[in-house]
Amino acid sequence: MKILLVSLLFFYSANLFSQQVISSSGATKTVKIGGGDFTVSWTIGEGVITTLSQLSKELTQGFHQPIMIELFPTSLEGELVLDMVAYPNPTYNKVLFKGGDPTGTYHLRLVDKLGRVLEQKSVPSDQLELEMGRYNNGSYLIEIVEDKSEKRVIFNIVKSSQ
């Protein structure tokens, strides 16, 4: 009987403290749109996070880590979205890009999650790749802009160790 009581108390108390974040700012808002509920959550400045690595596995602690950023064009901006893919994601050392104008020139910008521009360059399409080996493990944004048409796309790339 004591074991049952202790185990129930343990599972109940574990649920009380699950999924909490200590941050400097943030909010959650739920709105009804078109008969559905949508929830938006955000935090700024998570003070206690860490990345643990072991062989081929990696665990990054913290909330609100998007896997991918998608651009959902409206009818007004649909013609401004560049049709291109980035691979592999996650990457260990190099990101390659496929699509767009094969004879065009592209402007590439790499930004970390703090908004710092780490690299900017203009390259022809046959040299469109990005070396990521010198950067720390984490999530980065890569913006590609086609020179002639000014079409653009933004990729969320995860850099990890092998």
Q: For the chain, which residues make up each domain, given as ranges? A: 20-65, 78-159
Q: Give the model's pLDDT for residue 116.
A: 86
Does the global pTM surpass 0.95?
A: no
- pLDDT confidence of residue 80: 80
d(CA 133, CA 95): 10
Residues of the chain with pLDDT under 70: 5-24, 38-53, 56-78, 162
The CATH number of the domain covering residues in 78-159:
2.60.40.3080
At residue 130, the pLDDT reads 94
In the predicted model, what is the mean pLDDT of the chain? 76
**Cα(76)–Cα(124) distance, rounded to whole angstroms?**
28
Q: Are 154 and 69 in contact (CB under 8 A)?
A: yes
Q: What does the pLDDT look like over 24-59, one tens digit per residue?
A: 677 777 777 777 776 666 666 666 566 666 776 666
